[in-house]
Structure 1
Amino acid sequence: MKKSFLTLTAIASTFAATAQNDSISTIDKDILVMIGMLVLIALVSFTVLTIIKRWMDYRLKNKLIDNGLSENIINSILQDDTNRNKNSNIKWFAILVGVGTALTIINYTLPLGIHSIAIMTFSVSASFLGYFFFLKYSAKQK
């Protein structure tokens, strides 16, 4: 439900950005295409990785059941880490802040070129570095 809401919001925001009056500066068409391609690549990659993970978990669970292990042991082996799930929101926040910062900087340094890719790379890597420090700090607090 949350993913579909986020996807619909992202799509609706692109329509709202192009529905502006000509007197107001609009988002360049190339930037919208680039954002759309990035979102599409991310969604396809996430979907493929999720399908592969679930398929491999299913195969592993079947093999463990065939070997005669109890269901409690199998569930404890395949149980997700709750801390990882809790920090997932912070990770996506850091990534989206990095992408948003990069797109803002790219908008002010038009025309698009190789420097745009460099700006995007450095901004996203800086957001991952911030996430790393967050994880390091939160591990010390425990």
Structure 2
Amino acid sequence: MKKIINIALIVSAPVVANAQGGDTFSVNEDVFNICATIFVVGLFMIFILGITKRVMDYRIKNKIVEKGIPENIASSILQTSPKENRNINIKWFALLAGIGVALTIIYYTLPLGIHSLAIMSFCIAASFLGYYFFLKQSEK
């Protein structure tokens, strides 16, 4: 989480440091509101999923301790594979690339409307489809 906050601060520093007069750098208010909304909703979903995962892991660990399962079986159940962790980066790349492509298309097809949500949905779905094909190919 600290890395995400640091990256966000570094990326936003040039915008804050722009102290010159005039409209040398301006962002359309509607585009900013859409991006901010998507970002906040995404952070909220990540937060909820993280809490749910931790609660479920805690419940599984308690059940394992209560049942008295042998240590080698318990460690095999609770162990995560490093291959799965490696693919998380590719998943986030695909998702963020899909969002970037969608925002670019939305920018060139103004005015904003319901078609903007459709473009965003299709681009994110396409990025997840690409990730699925990547996983399928990497299993071979």
Q: Structure 1: where are the runs of 5+ without partners? A: none
Tell me which residue corresponds to 2:97: 97
- Answer 1 or 2: higher relative contact order, Cα 8 Å, separation at least 6: 2
Cα-Cα RMSD: 2.2
List gaps (5 residues or longer) in structure 2: none
Identity %: 47
> What corresponds to 2:45 in structure 1?
45
**CA–CA distance in 1 between the matches of 2:23 and 2:29?**
16
Q: CA deviation at 1:18?
A: 9.8
The change in CA–CA distance for 1:108 and 1:60 in structure 2 (over 3 A counts) is same
> What does residue 83 of structure 2 align with?
83
Q: Distance in 2 between matches of 1:60 and 1:88?
A: 23
TM-score w.r.t. the length of structure 1 is: 0.84
What is the CA distance between 1:65 and its match in structure 2?
0.7
1:9-20 matches, within 5 Å, as 9=10, 12=12, 16=15, 19=18
Equivalenced residues, count: 138
Q: Normalising by the residue count of structure 2, what TM-score does the alignment of the two structures yield? A: 0.85
Distance 2:85 2:24 in 1: 42
* Separation (CA, whole Å) in 1 of partners of 2:56 and 2:112: 41
Deviation, 1:17, is: 7.8
Tell me, in whole angstroms, the C-alpha distance in 2 between the residues paired with 1:90 and 1:103. Answer: 20
